[in-house]
Chains A and B, each alone.
Chain A
Amino acid sequence: MDVPKTGFSFDLCRRNEMLTKKGLKSPGYLKTGTTIVGLIFENGVILGADTRATEGPIVADKNCEKIHYMAPNIYCCGAGTAADTEAVTDNISSQLKLHRYHTGRESRVVTALTLLKSHLFRYQGHVSAALVLGGVDVTGPHLHTIYPHGSTDTLPFATMGSGSLAAMAIFESEYREGLTREEGVNLVTKAICSGIFNDLGSGSNVDVCVIEKGKKEYLRNHLTPNPRTYISSKGYTFSKKTEVLLTKITPLKELVDVVQVGGGDAMEE
């Protein structure tokens, strides 16, 4: 039985380059054109992200989730090609879970870091994922950035994505060590808002995730500074001529037995 060749096959890359040279327009990617940030505060790590996913000049998703779950104590923000960030964080998250079963211990941030950077390096930058990885483990709070080619940095505060300069301007002028939780969340929100309002690739809402020793808080849509301006005051409903067939609703639960499995952690996304 033929053992499949391991590693990435670069054959098609040569073909694609040849076709592009001949004039073929390669299909576009769904990029997250993003602002993602992270900072270390007195008790842990705070991550932040905007919620706009772009496909060229079009906003494909107004409210996507860019803060990905890696482990109960580790989260990862992703910028770049949406499929790549989603796939790579999902993959490493599964590997971490298996590792937790094997060792019987809480995952460490360096483990996630090493798994991610080896994966990205092996694909030589073709996996277009730029990540901000943050978490709190037994050795303390950690914050890292990971670039598509596989290099990493360890930083007290970090920004990535197209809005990174706008967010970094806020961090460089206002970050201090030993921020409280409230100050940290406010600074992260301010930096993401700077990205949302000054960068065209970022927009919509602010997601925040606070990770401390032993607990974490995922604040989805912590701030929504871009509400719909003009909403019909009457609301939306059916026209008067619509024929009403039934007004009794039969809940499906009565016919089927629904069993709840596990705690809140199972299959968390």
Chain B
Amino acid sequence: MILRWILYYHQKEILRGLIEYPYVTGTSIIGIKYKDGILMAADMGGSYGSTIRYKSVERLKQVGKHSLIGASGEISDFQEILKYLDELILHDNMWDDGNSLGPKEVHNYLTRVMYNRRNKFDPLWNSLVIGGVKNGQKYLGSVSMIGVHYEDDHLATGFGNHLARPILREEWREDLSFEEGVKLLEKCMRNLLYRDRSAVNKLQIAKITEEGLTVSQPYSLKTFWNFAAFQNPTVGATGSW
């Protein structure tokens, strides 16, 4: 009886120091600044190892009045982070002083949380992207599970680092319109769909501006598979496959 009580209250301390593994994971997030604010894209897949277990996971969420957070990595840790952020915003509202936390402050808070957990060998297994607009200032920042944080005009997590960043570095501009921004994000998401095994063809795009946040309805991208070489790969070249 006492043993069970000890285990219940001190489980975290007893188990701390052991290596954690992520179980249900989300894949890449892509975020860009555009003319009026921030655009972020994420697909709705939750993989359980090599199975695509969940296909309606919302990985883009609002934080307070001014911010949008997107998470890749362990979904349960993301839900925990949302709980922390909820508490943070609640306490901020209780001050009732007319001021509200902006994306820069939320980013800094999360950086401290992630870094301190990492120092205790008990990380939250996520890569986060925080974006928002406050008082006309656009902000886009990233935090990883070990506390590496920085801000930039365009960000990507997970596989997006390898497949989306080259495209963003080539084609991002300061004055993208909403349509151009969405086209750029879709280009990157299509690439990820082709080449990331944990991607699913059901994505959401979120837009945050000074006016507020809108998250699109889930939709699919069109893919092209009709290359001549795909139809009959070994025509005229028998001996290969």
Contacts and interface: CB of A to CB of B under 8 A. Distances in A.
The reply to whether chain A is a binding partner of chain B is: yes
Contact of A165 (B162, B169, B190, B236): B162
Contacts of B135: none
Interface in B186-241: 187-188, 190-191, 194-195, 227-230, 233-234, 236-241
B28 to A, nearest CB: 12
A143 B230 CA distance: 12
A70 B237 CA distance: 18
B163 A110 contact: no
Nearest to B239: A110
Main secondary structure of the interface of A (DSSP, over half): helix
A142 interface: yes
A56 interface: no
A172 B167 CA distance: 11
A152 B233 CA distance: 12
B237 A109 contact: yes
Contact of A154 (B167, B170, B188, B229): B229
A177 B167 contact: no
A144 B230 contact: no
A169 B237 contact: no
A11 to B, nearest CB: 33
A198 B233 contact: no
Given A154-B233, A172-B195, A177 B227 contact: yes
Interface string B162-189: 1111110110000000000000000110
A219 interface: no
Contacts of B234: 154
A139 B164 contact: no
Interface in A125-158: 139-140, 142-144, 152, 154-156
Given A110-B239, A114-B239, A140-B236, A170 B167 contact: yes
Contact of B190 (A143, A152, A173): A173
A188 interface: no
A144 to B, nearest CB: 6
Contacts of B191: 168-169, 172-173
3 closest residue pairs by CB, A with B: A165-B162, A139-B236, A156-B229
Interface of B: 162-167, 169-170, 187-188, 190-191, 194-195, 227-230, 233-234, 236-241
22 contacts: A110-B240, A142-B237, A143-B229, A144-B240, A152-B241, A154-B237, A156-B228, A156-B229, A156-B230, A165-B163, A166-B163, A166-B165, A169-B191, A169-B195, A172-B194, A172-B195, A173-B167, A173-B187, A177-B227, A190-B170, A194-B170, A198-B169
